Structure 1
Amino acid sequence: MSARPADQTFELAERSDGFNYQYRMRCACGETSALAADDYFAEARRARMDCAHCGREIHFGPAVAALRDENDRALQDNLVSTFAWYHTSTSPNWPSSGYAAQFENQLKWVERDFGISRDNYLAQQTSKALHVGTYEAAIENMLRRMENQGDSTKQFYLYRVALRLTPGSINTGYRDENHAVASDISVAEISDAGLDAVRYLNVHEAMGTLSLAVVPSAIAAMQCIPIPTSEVITDDQPAAVRAAVEDVRNATRKLRTAEEALSSIEPSVRRMMTLGMRPDPDGAAKRIGKLEQKYYWSWHDLQERLASEYLPNVSAVIRRDFNDAVAGWRDENAEVFVQRYRRLTALLERPSEAIAKVSTQAWRFVGGAQASLSSSAQMSDAPDSASRDGPPSWMQLNAGA
């Protein structure tokens, strides 16, 4: 970290457009057509739509996702550094100069006679570029990591990033993530092209927006807040939410009571009894199976009710992703779950509040630490072969939008 120059200020423009956006899909004819979020969620016509230009059928999805705004100002090279860019991470000091050493210390490795070597794997994983995107892309990246990488119980941090990019240091146009996976971009790949940043079409988070893969030295400074907030919500819950909480409580109590009655039987044996593979004379095991289903559906119904109440301005697609992300919070206390759920919804329902809060934080200026990180990142020019959903989160402090 370096001291702030006396005359250094950052007046950054925002590009946030919320979480209720529609999509654009590209036809084989080369043109793009609009698709409503509700149709995308419902996979209308078996995920088919007609091209608005040639009439041919498009099998829609991420593989044919197109830029939502063809006049996006982030396409103008001279404006890229005037925008606020965002990143979410479980690290409170992203990007960390000690990332490479941390990664190596935590890596568990078994040598094999085939496949990649440990040294090459280390080089690939610690040479990734840093990724920033819109506020929505950063939040959706957090949700994806919560669901797919076991990060649902971890503390996240929201970073608002100021870049320093000179004319000619960013690629022309944008890289389409469907044709060249952006999460694999290494620092060496960007530097060897004589660039500091690669602009790309993000088809995984905030689908259809532009994100950036940058070398560490392209980051000038950042602001940071922990998310979500720790505020205690005290207002009354709607009757439908209270009823759903009570259903979870009742389903939990009945299931635990039934399980206690069969506690002397090994769980594996009890499961075979439930499936009819072992004798179940009084049907107790089968009753537990039915109670487990009721328990599951009571939680499902509670989450659906919460999404309806507290995410009214979020599309059905993102509501589904949100509920999948927080499913790991389920435990014996539905009231605590509701509190945590509501705090997290504020990031999607009221993004302006989070943006306003992070934009008032002190700037952390990037200096010598980044030179160290950049040096360690030059270990190899081989791109990482892992997908966005591959390594666990601690392996990806330098990855993700």
Structure 2
Amino acid sequence: MERSDGFNYGYAMNCTCGRVSVLSAEDYYVEADGAHMNCAHCGTSIHFGIAVAALRNQDDPALDDEAVTRFAWYHTSTEPDWPSSDYARRFIQDMEQNGHRPVNRAHYVSTHTTKALHLGTYETAVENMLRRMHDEHDGGSPFYLYRVAIELRPGRINPGYRDENHDDAAQLSISELDRDSLDAVRYLNVHEGTGLLSLAIRPEVITAVQRMPIPLPELALPPMPGFLDREITALAHAKDEMEAAQAKVESIPHGRRRMMYFGVYDDPDGLAKKAGDLEHRYIDLWNQLEDQLAEAYLPSASRPIRRDFNEAMGSWKSAHPTADPQTFISRYRAMAALIEKSPEVISELAHQPWRDLRSFGTRKRLKGRSQYL
């Protein structure tokens, strides 16, 4: 059973009076009135944002304990074999290869290899990927989309839901689930799909997963002949001018060149200033191009989602510095399909073979320790 909310949602905000008021995505994006809104019930001014985000649907079907196990849940990961029982070994191996030597090695490893897993809606999973691309240096990483089936024993999920603003769920550990005799914690997600319910679970509740790499080139949005031709030409010209100017100051260390640009050091010929100005112009033209791409290829997404998408694509571009505008646009069209063609993406994933994890989970329970990511 699917549970979808799209990428053009509004927001719900808590007031000190205990009631909830709704806010449009546009007002949220522009931070209308200095990010303030009046409570629809008592008139009190609410300083809106994730710190006071509320459940968007007070009758969210995920509040039904039995329905939770009937939903298809989603997850995005850079791991091709998520959830992997081999994660702890690879974590230690990477730590040692990178020369990282924490003071309390055992505690550090345990903290990072025994966390609960997180599941959400399709939209939440896609937004999580966008955030990771921009915030966690995964702009150039391959991603996989997972569709997850779970099984919960009666009474092993928390009543109601945990509000992530007051009781953090992101770092929830297996030991905390053990302490509370739970297999899953339902929580209000305020970071992706703000206002929806997500799950933090012990790996053993996963019975099976379907997986596919994303994006899917065959679902890419169609190209628009002639679209942005003038902008692409201007961008190429700006790049040539920038590189020619930078070549004249390449012998000057980058840090000193920046100080010359800001007037801290002398720039007698104005070459550092010119190179800096042309670099800023080139960046501005790229930003304008990305804004136009969002208008054309993300018509169903709200402005906050478009912003997050473009930030993620900017990180992809940084990870692929030799990519030209046409290559970038091609990737943009493929990524945009995750938002604009979500039913087709879900359908494609739903037709992938299931990987059965039931016996795998049983073995892990017998060992008494979870080491998945």
Same fold flag (TM > 0.5): yes
Residue 367 of structure 1: how far off its partner (Å): 3.4
8 Å CA contact 2:117, 2:203 repeated in 1: yes
**Which residue is 2:31 aligned to?**
43
**Which residue is 1:28 aligned to?**
16
Structure 2's unaligned 5+ residue stretches are none
Return closer, same or farther for 1:204/1:291 CA change in 2, 3 Å cut-off. same
2:280 matched to 1:293?
Answer: yes
2:352 matched to 1:352?
Answer: no
Summarize deviations over 1:97-149 as a string: whole Å, max 9, x none. Answer: 1111111111243355xxxx221111111110111000011000000000011
2:295 matched to 1:308?
Answer: yes
- The residue type paired with residue 42 of structure 1 is V
Residue 270 of structure 1: how far off its partner (Å): 2.8
Residue 239 of structure 1: how far off its partner (Å): 4.4
Paired residue for 1:154, among 141, 158, 162?
141
**Which residue is 1:254 aligned to?**
241
8 Å CA contact 2:203, 2:370 repeated in 1: no
8 Å CA contact 1:96, 1:373 repeated in 2: no
2:266 matched to 1:283?
Answer: no
8 Å CA contact 2:37, 2:48 repeated in 1: yes
SS of corresponding position for 1:307:
helix
SS of corresponding position for 2:187:
strand
- Could you tell which deviates more after superposition, 197-206 or 222-231? 222-231
2:210 matched to 1:223?
Answer: yes
2:57 matched to 1:66?
Answer: no
Residue 373 of structure 1: how far off its partner (Å): 4.9
Count of residue pairs the alignment pairs up: 366
SS of corresponding position for 2:58:
coil
**Which residue is 2:333 aligned to?**
342
**Which residue is 2:45 aligned to?**
57
Return closer, same or farther for 1:122/1:31 CA change in 2, 3 Å cut-off. same
* Cα distance in 2, alignment partners of residues 160 and 232 from structure 1: 18
SS of corresponding position for 1:191:
helix
Structure of higher RCO (CA pairs closer than 8 Å, 6+ residues apart)? 1
8 Å CA contact 1:245, 1:334 repeated in 2: yes
Residue 262 of structure 1: how far off its partner (Å): 2.8
- The residue type paired with residue 269 of structure 2 is D
Paired residue for 1:164, among 151, 155, 176?
151
Paired residue for 2:77, among 89, 113, 118?
89
* Cα distance in 2, alignment partners of residues 156 and 79 from structure 1: 28
8 Å CA contact 2:160, 2:186 repeated in 1: yes
Residue 372 of structure 1: how far off its partner (Å): 5.3
Question: Cα RMSD between the aligned structures?
Answer: 2.0
Summarize deviations over 1:71-103 as a string: whole Å, max 9, x none. Answer: 111111111111100000000100001111111
2:180 matched to 1:193?
Answer: yes
* Cα distance in 2, alignment partners of residues 334 and 376 from structure 1: 51
* Cα distance in 2, alignment partners of residues 192 and 279 from structure 1: 64
- Could you tell which deviates more after superposition, 266-275 or 152-161? 266-275
Residue 235 of structure 1: how far off its partner (Å): 4.8
- The residue type paired with residue 151 of structure 1 is D
Residue 304 of structure 1: how far off its partner (Å): 0.4
8 Å CA contact 2:202, 2:370 repeated in 1: no
8 Å CA contact 1:25, 1:66 repeated in 2: yes
- The residue type paired with residue 74 of structure 2 is Y
- Could you tell which deviates more after superposition, 228-237 or 319-328? 228-237
Superposition TM-score, scaled by structure 2 size: 0.93
* Cα distance in 1, alignment partners of residues 122 and 367 from structure 2: 28
Residue 165 of structure 1: how far off its partner (Å): 1.2
Summarize deviations over 1:297-354 as a string: whole Å, max 9, x none. Answer: 0111011010010001100001001111111233341111111111001001111011
* Cα distance in 2, alignment partners of residues 91 and 119 from structure 1: 24
- The residue type paired with residue 343 of structure 1 is A
Summarize deviations over 1:201-220 as a string: whole Å, max 9, x none. Answer: 10100000010011111101
* Cα distance in 1, alignment partners of residues 303 and 3 from structure 2: 22
SS of corresponding position for 2:7:
coil
**Which residue is 1:266 aligned to?**
253
* Cα distance in 2, alignment partners of residues 269 and 197 from structure 1: 54
* Cα distance in 1, alignment partners of residues 250 and 93 from structure 2: 41
Superposition TM-score, scaled by structure 1 size: 0.87
Residue 261 of structure 1: how far off its partner (Å): 2.7
**Which residue is 2:354 aligned to?**
363
Paired residue for 2:101, among 96, 99, 110?
110
Structure 1's unaligned 5+ residue stretches are 1-12, 381-396
**Which residue is 1:17 aligned to?**
5
Return closer, same or farther for 1:379/1:336 CA change in 2, 3 Å cut-off. closer
* Cα distance in 2, alignment partners of residues 233 and 79 from structure 1: 33
* Cα distance in 1, alignment partners of residues 84 and 52 from structure 2: 35
8 Å CA contact 1:244, 1:305 repeated in 2: no
Paired residue for 1:77, among 52, 65, 69?
65
**Which residue is 1:100 aligned to?**
88
* Cα distance in 2, alignment partners of residues 266 and 229 from structure 1: 42
* Cα distance in 2, alignment partners of residues 175 and 94 from structure 1: 25
**Which residue is 1:213 aligned to?**
200
2:229 matched to 1:242?
Answer: yes
SS of corresponding position for 1:25:
strand
